[in-house]
Structure 1
Amino acid sequence: MAPAIYSPPSERVAVVTGGNKGIGLEVCRQLASNGITVILTARDEARGAAAVEQLTAAAGLSDVIFHQLEVTDAQSIARLVGFLKERFGKLDILVNNAAVGGVQPLPVQDVSAEELSGMDASQRYEWMWKNVQETCDAAKEGIQTNYYGTKNVTEALLPLLQASSGGRIVNVTSEWGLLSYFRNEELKQELNDVEKLTEERLDEVLAMFLSDFEAGDLEARGWPLAFAAYKVAKAAMNAYSRVLARRHPELRVNCAHPGYVKSDMTRHSGLLTPEEGASNVVKVALLPEGGPTGTFFALGQEAPFV
């Protein structure tokens, strides 16, 4: 085994999950442009390596390194931790961007760019909804990736973030993760009560959601509807972020909604470019030391979780 190579204390190191395309790729580019060494991670090695090559060749950014990461695979997470420990001995910034839609895509109905440009945000959401179906398998994958994948990566990297003088976590979220989408008032209040909420209770809530999903009881039980698994997973991740911020006051742990972005997940129906969406995430990642923690940022501005 090669001897450990530690970075100079002044060198800032960031990990971006789901970094090979869309918002994640742009977050990597913008962080690297700010002089930060970026570990771009992706499930697919070929796509991840190509993304690094793209940033190196097109943008002239030399401090971008690829490392394979599947956020739902414990061994893959462990390999990333080992690499960071040996190479840098710390982690300054973690951007949890990797996510899935939690739905089964259907063949896209024909819509011209001109038709799309004439739609407002709600009409574009409706168009997206017509081109997907909700299945149990897709819902389970959504919860497993968007909540447990994010949580497991974060927990594994906590010691390295604590080894930084200013460790920070940015969880890329969505306005669809707001608690206003829950129609069960009791559950909404419980998820908003960060003083009492626990990770164990979040596990119970997610298990209850999947059970109700399979039984067809989402509407009767007051869960969010339409892209339900995505909304519930993001709401749970927002809640976990607040619990984590209370547990680790030495870190800055925040949620960032990038906006409705043109990406593969939105079938490029968004209103913002990946560059614009990423800038709303990077702004949170680069907040001054001692800044807010346990906070929701929408389009770069502090906003309520509800």
Structure 2
Amino acid sequence: MILVPSRIAVVTGGNKGIGLEVCHQLAANGITVVLTARDEKRGSEAVEKLQKAGLSEIIFYQLDVTDAPNISRLADFMKARFGKLDILVNNAAVIGVEYIHDPVDVSVTSDKEHFSGMDASQRLEWMCKNSRETYNAAKEALQTNYYGTKNVIKTLLPLLQASPDGRIVNVSSMWGLLRLFNNEELKQELNDVENLTEERLDEVLAGFLKHFEVGAVESQGWPVAFSAYKVAMAAMNAYSRILARRHPELRVNCAHPGFVKTDITRNSGLLSPAEGAGYVTKVALLPAGGPTGVYFTLGAEATFL
């Protein structure tokens, strides 16, 4: 007879940055963690690194959140191995832009002094100036950050429901807040979770892509600068609230980890991955019966607006 550990977690995008640190922190709290990543080599190396640090209850599973059959295979593995899932941390995401590599500029991935003296707004301005927003990158952001995450949730939902205390933490961002929308009607609609549907969210995202393609993002009131990332995160926040209402037996929350030094930010952030992950882990480990359908920023409850 196989003994099932008391608590099981799945973390997407777990091979580096915030995801890797979330895996570390959950495992340090006695939770068996399934670390997933697109790249099998990098994922296996990440697990080996954690195991060498004394965290033995870490398992690797290769997962591309945009690959539906791949997600189904993960669900089959989890069902056969554990029969349930207690914590799902959806961390896998892309930034939705193409970064410009300036050969004259220093390498921001290796030069820690590059952002010295810059405050958060200056660092964000640097990110904007050194990126370009393309249709393909925007489409990838929606497919990964919203649809990929949603498909992972839907496929693993029966396993979460098999847990006595199933919970979902969607790693979000202050860039997903509705205050960034200049279309008041759309802002109100995305905040009206009692009437908002998944089908309507699909229509909203399709409308965004059409406006993006014809260069009408700003004129139609969508968020500007990293617009696809912001729209995808706003949609994921809205879906999280829909899900929380639909499944009161689960805890479904969003967690903003802060402005973190990761590949997505080209290491321009102010917090370390461990610091950012701490805020995500705190939400994942909230006491039983805690809040659901809530947005947390830096570990504290906040507004989706």
Q: Report the TM-score range of the alignment, normalised by the length of the smaller protein.
A: over 0.9
Residue pair 1:242, 1:295 contacting (<8 A) in 2 also: yes
Write the distance in 2 (CA, Å) between the matches of 1:267 and 1:216.
Answer: 26
Q: Check if 1:145 corresponds to 2:141.
A: no
Q: Partner of 1:222 in structure 2?
A: 221
Q: 5 Å matches for 1:178-257?
A: 178-257=177-256
Residue identity opposite 2:9 in structure 1 = A
Which one of 33, 38, 59 corresponds to residue 38 of structure 1? 33
Q: Partner of 1:133 in structure 2?
A: 132
Between the two proteins, the alignment pairs up a number of residues equal to 300
Residue pair 1:7, 1:89 contacting (<8 A) in 2 also: no
Write the distance in 1 (CA, Å) between the matches of 2:136 and 2:45.
Answer: 30
Q: Partner of 1:276 in structure 2?
A: 275
Q: Partner of 1:68 in structure 2?
A: 62
Residue identity opposite 1:92 in structure 2 = D
Q: Partner of 2:86 in structure 1?
A: 92
Residue identity opposite 2:267 in structure 1 = H
Tell me the CA shift for residue 113 of structure 1. Answer: 3.6
Tell me the CA shift for residue 6 of structure 1. Answer: 5.2
Write the distance in 2 (CA, Å) between the matches of 1:89 and 1:222.
Answer: 45
Q: Partner of 1:51 in structure 2?
A: 46
Write the distance in 2 (CA, Å) between the matches of 1:6 and 1:206.
Answer: 44
Aligned partner of residue 114 in structure 1, secondary structure: coil
Q: TM-score, normalised by structure 2?
A: 0.97
Tell me the CA shift for residue 114 of structure 1. Answer: 3.5
Residue pair 1:7, 1:87 contacting (<8 A) in 2 also: no
Write the distance in 1 (CA, Å) between the matches of 2:283 and 2:71.
Answer: 24
Q: Check if 1:15 corresponds to 2:10.
A: yes
Write the distance in 1 (CA, Å) between the matches of 2:2 and 2:251.
Answer: 23
After superposing on structure 2, the runs of 4+ consecutive aligned residues of structure 1 that deviate more than 4 Å are none
Tell me the CA shift for residue 7 of structure 1. Answer: 4.1
Name the CA shift for 1:166/1:222 in 2 (closer, same or farther; >3 Å).
same
Q: Partner of 2:261 in structure 1?
A: 262
Root mean square deviation of aligned Cα = 1.1
Q: Which runs of 5+ in 2 are unaligned?
A: none
Q: String of CA shifts for 1:230-257, please: whole Å, max 9, x gaps.
A: 0000000000000000000000000000
Residue pair 1:13, 1:38 contacting (<8 A) in 2 also: yes
Residue pair 1:173, 1:257 contacting (<8 A) in 2 also: yes
Q: TM-score, normalised by structure 1?
A: 0.96
Q: Partner of 1:83 in structure 2?
A: 77
Q: Check if 1:101 corresponds to 2:95.
A: yes
Question: Among the aligned pairs, what percent are the same residue?
Answer: 71
Write the distance in 2 (CA, Å) between the matches of 1:113 and 1:69.
Answer: 31
Q: Partner of 1:26 in structure 2?
A: 21
Residue pair 1:6, 1:86 contacting (<8 A) in 2 also: no
Q: String of CA shifts for 1:20-44, please: whole Å, max 9, x gaps.
A: 0000000000000000000000001
